[in-house]
Amino acid sequence: MAELPGSIREAGDLLRARRATAVELAEVAIERAGVDPYNAWLLVSAEQARAQARAADERIASGDASPLCGIPWACKDIIGTKGVETTAGSKILDGYVPPYSATVVERLEAAGAVMIGKTNLDEFAMGSSNENSAFGPVKNPWDTSRVPGGSSGGSAVAVAAGEVCFGLGTDTGGSIRQPAALSGVAGMKPTYGRVSRYGVVAFASSLDQVGPFGRTVEDIALVCQALFGVDPADATTMPLPSEDLCRDLERGVKGMRLGVPREYFVKGIEPGVERAVRAAIRELERQGATLLDVSLPSTDHALGVYYIVQPAEASANLARYDGVRYGLRVEGPDLVGTYKATRGAGFGPEVKRRMILGTYALSTGYYDAYYVKAQKVRTVIKKEFDDVFARVDALVTPTSPTVAFGIGAKTNDPLAMYLNDVFTLPVNIAGLPGISIPCGVSEGLPVGLQVIAASYQEATMFRVAAAYERATEHHRMRPPAARAA
């Protein structure tokens, strides 16, 4: 076997028909990851992958039909993995080997999935381009002079280039959906509280959520099925009855009401992106959905809220890296000197910028003016979404205002970089689920359609995305570089 099957579903069918073994799939993935030309991988855990694949083959031989059994996947390196180095893309965690795995990793292991290794990311998931990784940027397989998006760029590219069947990322302001859009795959952020954050390196705890990358909406739903559920180790997970997330995939959108928020089609969106997204929305209308022009008037303030709340939480979360408890230690003249030397050497410039911003927003005198006010506006943003969801079943928007931009194009302009997330971060602020799926190309580069649903309505969101996917071929697009490889 030279290539992995195109989806989890296809791979699973091959395995259960005994036309391939999990060990064979793992060997293909290990080899592809080992020669990956995009810098998508930080570590390939080949021996562990082989052992997991052998165990999966035994399970399949004894009749196990769980959909993820034997399927190779890629893990963003901000998710803790027992016995496998976890860096969060930072020098400060250099050499850190977690003594336990994140709940999401344990759940995938229990489902029989085979982890191939750890993927590159922006340091501590702070970024939209992967250029903030301490281990070099990831390249976009559609055009290697361009970024793949971020921060989960490594997992997005590993899926886009066919090196694994699915990947995990984390999404605090768009870090799954935006790289999915820019790399031409599907990527999804669950409702806040759906998925355990236990064992995931914390960035901004009220916004962070783990979610999958995949080739198809069904694959995304299958991974979510394994990830979702309450975890006693994470008090923010919701105890909800389990549900079949694939139940509405075939239902189509006839009779559904889809909102098109006018604030998501504004100046600054590239004409080619707008064209592809508008065409996608027309396709959903053609299938019988009713489109509603809706307004989310505070959308403009979402970026401001995000860049107060997120750095504030990050500055608190990152206080723990002190040269004593984890990874890197640079000796100073005394204890405080060691803290300073370690943090000065260990953190990159973007991480330092966020900690300074966050500490400032939380300091006496500014706390009320910035942090408290941002929390109030956050409540307004959430309420506007709630009001709209009383009238519509889902929202359809662009995922990102642009296609993949050039490596280096925005590195000296943090604000331009932050603006790339205008359409994704309101979803995190409101705690909602969102998915990005491929909906065409502009100038030869992929464009993403975002579908947003009300809290815990992932099945409805999948229903819309699957209806679009079924009628189009965009999810079958492959990057030219990966085709040539």
Region of 169-177, 265-273, 434-442, 462-470 interacting with ligand GLN (CB under 6 A): 169-177
Question: Under a CB-based contact definition with an 8 Å cutoff, are residues 72 and 4 in contact?
Answer: yes
- Indicate the helix (H) or strand (E) that contains 308: helix 299-317
Look up residue 265 and give its two tokens. 């089609």
Q: CA distances (Å), 482 to each of 34, 115, 162, 477, in order?
A: 14, 21, 7, 11
Shorter beta-carbon distance to ligand GLN: residue 205 or 338:
205
Q: Name the residue number minimizing CB distance to ligand GLN.
A: 175
Smallest separation, CB 178 to ligand GLN (Å): 7
171 binds ligand GLN (CB under 6 A): yes
Among 26, 93, 125, 404, binds ligand GLN (CB under 6 A): 125
Smallest separation, CB 172 to ligand GLN (Å): 4
126 binds ligand GLN (CB under 6 A): yes
Among 72, 154, 173, 446, binds ligand GLN (CB under 6 A): 173
Region of 123-131, 269-277, 279-287, 332-340 interacting with ligand GLN (CB under 6 A): 123-131
Smallest separation, CB 417 to ligand GLN (Å): 7
Among 52, 86, 90, 151, binds ligand GLN (CB under 6 A): 151
The one catalytic residue in 7, 45, 66, 76 is 76
What number of chain residues touch ligand GLN (CB under 6 A)? 14
The one catalytic residue in 45, 155, 175, 183 is 175
Burial class (CB in 10 A: 0-12, 13-18, 19+), 299: buried
Smallest separation, CB 201 to ligand GLN (Å): 11
**Bridge-partner residues for 396, per DSSP?**
451
d(CA 361, CA 349): 18
Pick the closest to residue 407 from 77, 149, 52 (CA basis).
149
127 binds ligand GLN (CB under 6 A): yes
Pick the closest to residue 436 from 152, 182, 138 (CA basis).
182
User: Could you confirm whether 455 is annotated as catalytic?
Assistant: no
Shorter beta-carbon distance to ligand GLN: residue 44 or 351:
351
209 binds ligand GLN (CB under 6 A): no
Question: What are the two backbone dihedrals, phi and then psi, of residue 350, each rounded to the nearest 5 degrees?
Answer: -70, -40
318 binds ligand GLN (CB under 6 A): no
Outline where 67-173 has alpha helix (H).
103-110, 153-160
d(CA 263, CA 245): 30
Other beta carbons within 10 Å of 364: 6
User: Could you confirm whether 76 is annotated as catalytic?
Assistant: yes
172 binds ligand GLN (CB under 6 A): yes
User: Could you confirm whether 152 is annotated as catalytic?
Assistant: no
Look up residue 103 and give its two tokens. 């709940």
d(CA 466, CA 219): 11
**DSSP helix/strand/coil, 41:** strand
305 binds ligand GLN (CB under 6 A): no
Region of 40-48, 111-119, 121-129, 194-202 interacting with ligand GLN (CB under 6 A): 121-129
Residues that bind ligand GLN (CB under 6 A): 125-128, 151, 170-175, 203, 310, 421
- Active-site annotation, residues: 76, 151, 175
